[in-house]
Structure 1
Amino acid sequence: MVDWDLAVSLGTRVAGEGPAVTRDEAAAAVAELRAGAERSTGLVREFTGLVAEERTAPVLVVDRAGWVQANADGFRTVLAPVIETLTAKKAPGALSQAIGSKVTGVEVGGLLGFLAGKVLGQFDPFHAPHGRLLLVAPNIVHVERELPADPTDFRLWVCLHEETHRVQFTAVPWMRDHLFAQVEALAATMEPTVLLDDGFKRVVEAIKQGPGAGSLLDVVGSPEQKEILDRVTAVMSLLEGHADVVMDGVGPAVIPSVAKIRASFDERRKGVGSLDRILRRLLGLDAKMAQYRDGARFVRGVVDKVGMADFNAVWERPENLPTPAEVAEPDLWVSRVL
């Protein structure tokens, strides 16, 4: 269903190489990011109380092409249940005729290419056996120049956020399986005919509606699918908000210019040109920005009321994860879980 080689090739071309740097500048950035990731492990553990074995998930400092390849590999893993379901429900020949692996390869490649120029770092929980942490050096250099920010401070700030994700998944080993189970549940609800016949029309309509419309997931999702996506969104809000709280909590003690970085970075998250805003909305990146904000508000609301030690009950089992309503009202989570 997907020509992954084509997706990687196209995605790499769309992404480009990033800012111009000398060999020495590139080597210095890579070394500083590696050191920042290693230093962040202890800082995150001390602040959160979460204990993860060190070096269980490798740290990879990559260029944009490396990020595209890594995410194509990740998509292949995550989408496997979806592809298996669609293939089982409709004959492969009909699927090939309706979509074609080349077409979907182009679509995935375009998506990866766009995102490869935006992402600073990412923890990939689905890479066997324990996940891996990706730091995209050219994008980090590009943003620190654009803000502008002190390179050493900004690199450690990014590492703190991404290392928090590594700790979340390695200290909470059931989290990976829980998220993958949501993908499998989503796959079980998919009907190829509805997806292929109605999906494109609804996407076009979403574009016409302008800024008030939802993302691609909003316009093609059935009520059952949206219920699953709401659960996933609540978990992602927790993970992203928790990482933002950690980076802001640890930052002042180790990053002299953290206040300036945060203010400049929050402004940058809003997007720049009109095309960028449209793509962000359609790809769900606006929703991701909301995840940072809503999740951080949830984490701070609970921690302010009961402390970090009691907040960590959220990591004990899947039943303790917040619902969408609880993300919006932390007191509901405190009443239910604690």
Structure 2
Amino acid sequence: MSPDNPAVPGPDGPENPAWEQMLRAMLGDGADEAIREMRARGFDPSAMAAASGLPTDPRMLEQAVAQIRRMLAASGDEPVNWRMAHDLARQQASLGGDPSLSPARSREVLEALSVAELWLDAVTDLPPSTGTPHAWSRAEWVEATLPTWRTLTEPVAGSLSAALVDALGSSLPEDAADALPGGLDPSLLLRQLGSAVFGMQVGQGAGTLAREAFGTTDIGLPLLDSPAPALVPANVDAFAEGLDAPREEVRLFLALREAAATRLFTHVPWLRAHLLATVEAYARGIRIDVDQLEEAVRSIDPTDAAALQAALSGGVFAPHTTPEQKAALERLETALALVEGWVDEVSAAAAIAHLPHTVALREMVRRRRAAGGPAEQTFANLVGLELRPRRLRDAAALWAQIARDAGPAGRDAVWDHPDLLPTTQDLDDPAGYGRRRAEAVDETAEVDRALAQILGEDPQEPPAG
């Protein structure tokens, strides 16, 4: 073992099970007695390692244990330990290197974003964002976006944490506190453990995404409170490797997508709040089947790590979707598809006259979004939602159809109010959108005429007052 930290594995691998090390980090001198008491009751703390998501790499485990120590030094009632999430996200983002950007590298990005704005002016009436453009390292991306991850993940983390405390706390013996140093409240310990696990998951997800994201909008949701175009050149370059297109062309194409999305979120003020509120409405409606969770805990051998991991990943935590959640999910999936479809269509229209590989790059980005990645899967596990736009192609076809029928200005005017947004029916039948919209307008006019007659007003004249 490390002579400075008995909870840290030695160079040849961990000498103590991972979960045991975490308990030692939390309980200090009382850990040995607590672990003996737990084992005497038939509970092996080490079996939790496989289900907790603890890293197996010795260095990462050492960092995690150090973070747990800091957590308990400033413990609170938050469902996610955000200090841990922040630190782990920074560590994950730096894997493989994350040097500060040189002035030349920053200038390349800012010039690409500036050119992108000029090209977009020719294909959309939405003006450029007023936010300052950025060229970021991966660590800077984490710092800028972590506040939005808090908004997205805390509602469901709170629901899951409460369910864990109810399920596991009720199964503890009445004298469980006697096994903990100082008579520590077992429920408090469970909450702290849950907060730590969620902090680790959010941190790992955000940190991994920091190594994948091109900017602040390419997962469909805007990750900044105040929209501003930004690119992470290390991730842009990694994407460009192996492609036939020159790196500069790839950078310009991705800058177009980022700048287009930022224009949309800047000048459609209700859109960001609409998306995040829909995610929150879905997440807050999650209800965990505590009886099912308790049954899973009782029916497996807690010393069998494989069985425990299978139980926890086999639907025990799966939310029971309500009709309200299904409606919110449909609204979110449609809105995400419409956002990304608009960005896809507008950025391609701006690029086609300037970038020879536009068609190929457009298809590569579409496939990348359809496939998702490990960070997006972490988000799906945490929030119960997948952010992959399942109907991106349908949405792009719809925006192209609207532009053919009403021109670019008519296409962009659809964003004037949420009530004007196309529906899933419009995604199913883009060619019929114009007819359905005209029928809706006629129906509204008919209702207005009927109300005017009831009120004794002349339907041809504006109402008095």
- Shorter-chain TM range is 0.7 to 0.9
Aligned to 1:323: 423
Q: Which moved more, 1:8-17 or 1:132-141?
A: 8-17
Q: How does 1:221-236 map to 2 (within 5 A)?
A: 221-236=321-336
Residue 110 (str. 1) matches residue 204 (str. 2) = yes
CA distance in 2, matches of 1:110, 1:281: 10
Q: Which moved more, 1:281-290 or 1:293-302?
A: 281-290
The structure 2 residue matched to 1:46, chosen from 99, 105, 122, is: 122
The structure 2 residue matched to 1:120, chosen from 214, 230, 250, is: 214
Residue 97 (str. 1) matches residue 190 (str. 2) = yes
Residue 138 (str. 1) matches residue 228 (str. 2) = no
Deviation at 1:175, TM superposition (A): 1.4
The structure 2 residue matched to 1:69, chosen from 123, 143, 150, is: 143
Deviations 1:54-85 (A, max 9, x none): 4x223222122222232322112344666788
Aligned to 1:6: 84
The structure 2 residue matched to 1:158, chosen from 227, 247, 254, is: 254
- Root mean square deviation of aligned Cα: 4.1
CA contact (8 A) 1:17 1:63 kept: no
Deviations 1:197-237 (A, max 9, x none): 4999897237xxxxxxxxx9x86643321220210111111
CA distance in 2, matches of 1:270, 1:79: 22
Equivalent AA in structure 1 for residue 122 of structure 2: E
> Which is helix-richer, 1 or 2?
1
Instruction: Count how many residue pairs are aligned between Structure 1 and Structure 2.
Output: 322
CA contact (8 A) 2:215 2:230 kept: yes
CA distance in 2, matches of 1:308, 1:278: 32
Aligned to 1:250: 350
Gaps of 5+ in 1: 207-215
CA distance in 1, matches of 2:270, 2:158: 24
Aligned to 1:310: 410
> Which of the pair has the greater relative contact order for Cα pairs under 8 Å at 6+ separation?
1
Deviation at 1:165, TM superposition (A): 0.8
The structure 1 residue matched to 2:341, chosen from 223, 237, 241, is: 241
Question: TM-score, structure 1 length as denominator?
Answer: 0.77
| Identity of matched residues, % | 28
Aligned to 1:210: none
C-alpha spacing 1:67/1:289, structure 2 compared with 1 (3 Å) = same
C-alpha spacing 1:278/1:159, structure 2 compared with 1 (3 Å) = closer
C-alpha spacing 1:310/1:143, structure 2 compared with 1 (3 Å) = same
CA distance in 1, matches of 2:92, 2:201: 12
Query: What's the secondary structure of 1:119's corresponding residue?
Result: coil
Gaps of 5+ in 2: 1-78, 167-184, 297-308, 439-465
Question: TM-score, structure 2 length as denominator?
Answer: 0.58
